[in-house]
């Protein structure tokens, strides 16, 4: 059973604009996750490529967010979580005993569902991660803060009030600030957990445009409930159902010609 | 439309019981306000005339029952000192304990539950028991052993002193600070902690840079409550540091001190001439009230500034 679930990643590169062939950046191997006795992820194997957008879709409770949080070990913070199997990023097992979780989270950034800027100034929000990792000089901080805000398409809106509170920004601006904060420390991978689900359509469009821009430099894994969003912005899509990976393929194929009946039912809105 | 509405919003019939109970709650409130007003007015009216610059700035002679020559400077200094020294000890210990309980301790473990139960029970211990604890633990155990180590067993620390009274009060007010800090730590959105950790911050960095600054106003509320509680307490300092009379101000942590609350007790029970002592008794009570109010006011001002700063920038 598990054999058949392993995705065939060797799709022709011509169907993708940004995908590179070669070794995948993230390899999830036979991953199972338990909350106490409950098995939340069942024997999942997935290979994600570098500098593409991969979407995780599926009905609530299917485990897609849980899997996302395995990739930067945020699940470590929850009591009673146990994991079998392995996740390799750049061929290093991130659950190996000698892994520095701090270093991992520096390389694997995260943007959350609910925008969570620190109650500090806009500038200090972006500088926070930089200061943590030893940046001190003002000119260096200034430059990186500006560049990160530019890359997050927020600079023009906030350049005149960098030192006022981030909590005064709109919801969409706050979420872009969180993206700026994440990319400031130059991660390789950005995990996004339904980053636009709390935003209005215009703010959502801006985030989506931003994601398409960011994938030139970053590998992005995004969890979304929004089918159209997955179709618009992702190169690959993985469909999960009750802790299992049902299907993983090029996004166009998932949405137009899925191999599994279950996937088809979900993406066409017949259940979920 | 309006017809339909008017049918639904007809005036209700007079309901005796609801009138009775709302009246009762109002009366109860008035009763409490009345008592408070009576006490305050009584103290202010009777105490105000006896307060003078001489009164608050004089170190009295041994016969402090004479309204013309007495003063309360040593008591003001003693009470202020013991409250400030207490605050210096109770805030760090209480905050660190609260951080351990909310951020580090496994919530379900038996040890955590025992600590929480101990904190809650500590809050219910009568204050005279804290006084006896202070005498037994701080003076007879810690102080005597310090003297053995440092002073060839001469009594320096092994006797009632400002430091032991302050520490006893710190133990007594510890639950207040712990509970207030825990509440303010719990009120911080988990999303902020996650955001910090996801940026590669350690748990300690997250606590120091994100959690504690946000919790500061709540911690200060705990401090204010502790100060209010401690300023008027007499029982915990009876055996641990307060003196009936001292000719000079306390200058060292190992000195004894005079205290406003205890002085009120002395004036009202030891006076040879009740009528002559009454005005200074009122005045001393008023000074105690004003001092407590002033200590609180300063703390509240600082808290307001911290809040404003947090809101503006962080």
pLDDT in the model for residue A78? 87
Contact status of A34 with chain B (Cβ, < 8 Å): no
Residue A5 domain-assigned? no
| pLDDT at A5 > cutoff 60 | no
Instruction: List phi, psi (to 5°) of B45.
Output: -60, -45
* Count of beta carbons in the 10 Å neighbourhood of residue B40: 12
pLDDT in the model for residue B135? 96
Instruction: List phi, psi (to 5°) of A81.
Output: -95, 130
Residue A16 domain-assigned? no
Where on the phi/psi map is residue A85: left (φ > 0), alpha (ψ -120 to 50), or beta? Answer: left
Of A102, A114, A121, the CB nearest to B191: A114
| pLDDT at A64 > cutoff 80 | yes
Residue in chain B closest to A192 (alpha carbons) equals B198
Contact status of A213 with chain B (Cβ, < 8 Å): no
pLDDT in the model for residue A20? 45
Where on the phi/psi map is residue B102: left (φ > 0), alpha (ψ -120 to 50), or beta? Answer: alpha
pLDDT in the model for residue B7? 60
pLDDT in the model for residue A7? 40
Instruction: Tell me what percent of the residues of chain A surpass a pLDDT of 90.
Output: 81
> Are the C-beta atoms of B261 and B233 separated by less than 8 Å?
yes
pLDDT in the model for residue A4? 38
| pLDDT at A241 > cutoff 70 | yes
pLDDT in the model for residue A91? 84
Of residues B12 and B51, the one with the higher pLDDT is B51
Q: Which residues pair with A110 in a beta bridge?
A: A191
Distance of CA A67 to the CA centre of its chain: 10
Contact status of B214 with chain A (Cβ, < 8 Å): yes
Residue in chain B closest to A113 (alpha carbons) equals B191
Per the structure, the complete domain to which residue A38 belongs is given by: 25-267
Of A116, A129, A178, the CB nearest to B189: A116
pLDDT in the model for residue A2? 38
The enclosing domain of A64 has a CATH number of 3.40.50.300
Q: Do B314 and A120 touch (CB under 8 A)?
A: yes
pLDDT in the model for residue B14? 83
pLDDT in tens, B220-256: 999 999 999 999 899 999 999 999 999 999 999 999 9
Instruction: Tell me what percent of the residues of chain B surpass a pLDDT of 70.
Output: 95
Of A114, A119, A129, the CB nearest to B200: A129
Local confidence band at B84 (pLDDT 50, 70, 90 cut-offs): very high
Q: Stretch B34-55: mean pLDDT, rounded?
A: 93
- Counting one residue from chain A and one from chain B, the pairs whose CB atoms sit within 8 A come to 73
pLDDT in the model for residue A222? 97
Q: Stretch A70-74: mean pLDDT, rounded?
A: 95
Residue in chain A closest to B208 (alpha carbons) equals A132
Q: Which of A205-214, B60-69, B201-210 has the lowest mean pLDDT?
A: B60-69
Residue A109 domain-assigned? yes
The alpha carbon of residue A101 is apart from the nearest alpha carbon of chain B, in Å, by 8
Computed over every residue of chain B, the mean pLDDT equals 91
Of B191, B201, B312, the CB nearest to A112: B191
| pLDDT at A79 > cutoff 90 | no
| pLDDT at B121 > cutoff 50 | yes
3-state secondary structure B110-166: HHHHHHHHHHHHHCCCCHHHHHHHHHHHHHHHHHHHHHHHHCCCCCCCCCCCHHHHH
Burial level of A251, CB count in 10 A (0-12/13-18/19+)?
A: buried
Of A109, A119, A133, the CB nearest to B198: A109
pLDDT in the model for residue A223? 96
pLDDT in the model for residue B62? 81
pLDDT in the model for residue B261? 95
| pLDDT at A74 > cutoff 80 | yes
Chain A residues inside the 8 Å CB shell of B199: 105-106, 109, 128-129, 132, 181-182, 185
User: Residue A62: which residues within 8 A CB-CB, separation 6 or more?
Assistant: A240, A241, A242, A243
Chain A residues inside the 8 Å CB shell of B209: 128
The alpha carbon of residue A186 is apart from the nearest alpha carbon of chain B, in Å, by 10
Contact status of A130 with chain B (Cβ, < 8 Å): no
pLDDT in the model for residue B295? 87
| pLDDT at A12 > cutoff 70 | no
Q: Stretch A124-140: mean pLDDT, rounded?
A: 93
Contact status of A135 with chain B (Cβ, < 8 Å): no
Buried b (16+ CB within 10 A) or exposed e, B91-126: beebbebbbebbeebeeeeeeeeebbeebeebeeee
Residue A197 domain-assigned? yes
Residue A216 domain-assigned? yes
| pLDDT at A6 > cutoff 50 | no
pLDDT in tens, B252-277: 999 999 999 999 999 999 988 888 89
| pLDDT at B28 > cutoff 70 | yes
Residue A19 domain-assigned? no
pLDDT in tens, B150-184: 988 788 899 999 999 999 999 999 999 999 999 99
User: Residue B241: which residues within 8 A CB-CB, separation 6 or more?
Assistant: B82, B160, B161, B162, B163, B164, B165, B166, B168, B256, B257
Local confidence band at B6 (pLDDT 50, 70, 90 cut-offs): low
Per the structure, the count of domains in chain A is 1
pTM of the model: 0.83
Buried b (16+ CB within 10 A) or exposed e, B188-198: beeebbbbbbb
Contact status of A179 with chain B (Cβ, < 8 Å): no
Rounded to whole angstroms, the maximal C-alpha distance in chain B is 96
Query: What gap in Å lies between CA B87 and CA B177, rounded to an integer?
Result: 10
Chain B residues inside the 8 Å CB shell of A133: 200
| Chain B interface test: which of A81, A132, A184 (most B C-beta within 10 Å) | A132
pLDDT in the model for residue B131? 96
Q: Which of A190-204, A234-248, B4-18, B43-57 has the lowest mean pLDDT?
A: B4-18
Q: Stretch A82-97: mean pLDDT, rounded?
A: 92
Q: Stretch B71-90: mean pLDDT, rounded?
A: 95
| pLDDT at A136 > cutoff 90 | no
The two three-digit tokens of residue B295, written as one number? 């200590």
Q: Do B194 and A77 touch (CB under 8 A)?
A: yes
Per-domain boundaries in chain B: 60-312
Local confidence band at B8 (pLDDT 50, 70, 90 cut-offs): low
pLDDT in the model for residue B310? 78
Q: Which residues pair with B88 in a beta bridge?
A: none
Q: What is the third-level CATH fold of B60-312?
A: MetI-like fold (1.10.3720)
What is the complex's ipTM, to 2 decimals? 0.88
Instruction: List phi, psi (to 5°) of B160.
Output: -55, 135
User: Residue B123: which residues within 8 A CB-CB, separation 6 or more?
Assistant: B175, B176, B179
pLDDT in tens, B293-314: 998 898 889 899 988 887 766 4
Burial level of A265, CB count in 10 A (0-12/13-18/19+)?
A: middle
Of residues B30 and A19, the one with the higher pLDDT is B30
Query: What gap in Å lies between CA A149 and CA B108, rounded to an integer?
Result: 42
Chain A residues inside the 8 Å CB shell of B191: 112, 114, 116
Query: What gap in Å lies between CA B84 and CA B104, rounded to an integer?
Result: 29
Residue A6 domain-assigned? no
The alpha carbon of residue B39 is apart from the nearest alpha carbon of chain A, in Å, by 44
Q: Stretch B189-213: mean pLDDT, rounded?
A: 95
Q: Do B209 and A128 touch (CB under 8 A)?
A: yes
| pLDDT at A256 > cutoff 50 | yes
User: What is the secondary structure of chain B as a DSSP string?
Assistant: -HHHHHHHTPPPPP-HHHHHHHHHHHHHHHHHHHHHHHHHHHHHHHHHTT--HHHHH----S-TT-TTT---HHHHHHHHHHHHHHHHHHHHHHHHHHHIIIIIS-TT-HHHHHHHHHHHHHTTS-HHHHHHHIIIIIIIIIIHHHHHHHSTT-SSSSS--HHHHHHHHHHHHHHHHHHHHHHHHHTS-HHHHHHHHHTT--HHHHIIIIIHHHHHHHHHHHHHHHHHHHHT--HHHHTTTB-S--SS---STTS-B--HHHHHHHHHHH-S-HHHHHHHHHHHHHHHHHHHHHHHHHHHHHHHHHHHHHHHT-
The alpha carbon of residue B283 is apart from the nearest alpha carbon of chain A, in Å, by 47
Of A105, A121, A165, the CB nearest to B200: A105
Q: Do A165 and B312 touch (CB under 8 A)?
A: yes
| pLDDT at A17 > cutoff 50 | no
Residue in chain B closest to A71 (alpha carbons) equals B198
């Amino acid at each position: 059973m598990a054999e058949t679930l392993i995705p065939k990643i060797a799709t022709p590169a011509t169907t993708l604009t940004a995908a590179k062939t070669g070794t995948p950046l993230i390899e999830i191997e036979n991953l199972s996750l338990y909350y106490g006795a409950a098995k939340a992820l069942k024997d999942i194997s997935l290979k994600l490529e570098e500098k593409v957008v991969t979407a995780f879709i599926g009905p609530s409770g299917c485990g897609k967010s849980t899997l996302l949080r395995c990739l930067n070990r945020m699940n470590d913070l929850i009591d009673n979580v146990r994991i079998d199997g392995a996740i390799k990023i750049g061929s290093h097992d991130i659950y190996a005993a000698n892994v520095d979780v701090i270093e991992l989270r520096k390389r694997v950034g995260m943007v959350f569902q609910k925008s969570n800027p620190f109650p500090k100034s806009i500038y200090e929000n972006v500088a926070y991660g930089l200061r943590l990792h030893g940046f001190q000089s003002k000119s260096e901080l200034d430059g990186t803060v500006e560049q990160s805000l530019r890359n997050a398409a927020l600079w023009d809106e906030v350049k005149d009030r960098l030192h006022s509170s981030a909590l005064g920004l709109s919801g969409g601006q706050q979420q872009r600030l969180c993206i700026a904060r994440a990319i400031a420390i130059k991660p390789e991978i950005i995990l996004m957990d339904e980053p636009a689900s709390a935003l209005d359509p215009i703010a959502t469009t801006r985030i989506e445009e931003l994601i398409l821009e960011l994938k030139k430099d970053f590998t992005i894994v995004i969890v979304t409930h929004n089918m159209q969003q997955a179709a618009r912005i992702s190169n690959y899509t993985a469909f999960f159902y009750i802790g299992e990976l049902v299907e993983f393929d090029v996004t166009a194929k998932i949405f137009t010609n899925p191999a599994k009946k279950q996937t088809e039912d979900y993406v066409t809105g017949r259940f979920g | 439309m309006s017809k339909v509405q008017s049918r639904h919003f007809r005036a209700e019939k007079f309901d005796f019981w609801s009138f009775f109970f709302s009246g009762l709650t109002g009366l109860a409130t008035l009763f409490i306000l009345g008592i408070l007003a009576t006490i305050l007015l009584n103290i202010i009216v009777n105490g105000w005339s006896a307060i003078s610059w001489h009164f608050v700035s004089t170190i009295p002679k041994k016969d402090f029952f004479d309204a013309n020559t007495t003063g309360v400077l040593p008591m003001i200094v003693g009470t202020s000192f013991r409250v400030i020294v207490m605050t210096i000890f109770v805030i760090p210990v209480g905050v660190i304990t609260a951080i351990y309980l909310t951020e580090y301790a496994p919530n379900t473990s038996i040890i955590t539950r025992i600590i929480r139960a101990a904190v809650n029970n500590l809050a219910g211990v009568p204050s005279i028991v804290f006084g006896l604890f202070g005498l037994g633990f701080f003076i007879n155990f810690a102080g005597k052993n310090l003297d053995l180590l440092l002073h060839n067993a001469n009594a320096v620390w092994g006797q009632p002193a400002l430091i032991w009274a302050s520490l006893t009060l710190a133990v007594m007010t510890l639950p207040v600070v712990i509970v207030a800090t825990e509440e303010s730590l719990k009120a911080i959105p988990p999303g902020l902690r996650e955001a910090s950790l996801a940026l590669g911050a350690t748990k300690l960095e997250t606590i120091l840079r994100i959690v504690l600054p946000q919790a500061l106003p709540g911690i200060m509320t705990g401090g204010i409550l502790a100060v209010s509680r401690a300023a008027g307490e007499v029982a915990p300092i009876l055996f641990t540091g307060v003196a009936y009379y001292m000719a000079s101000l306390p200058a060292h942590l190992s000195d004894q001190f005079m205290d406003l609350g205890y002085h009120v007790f002395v004036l009202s029970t030891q006076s040879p001439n009740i009528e002559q002592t009454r005005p200074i008794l009122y005045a001393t009570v008023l000074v105690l009230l004003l001092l407590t109010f002033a200590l609180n006011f300063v703390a509240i001002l600082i808290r307001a500034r911290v809040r404003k700063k947090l809101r503006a920038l962080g």
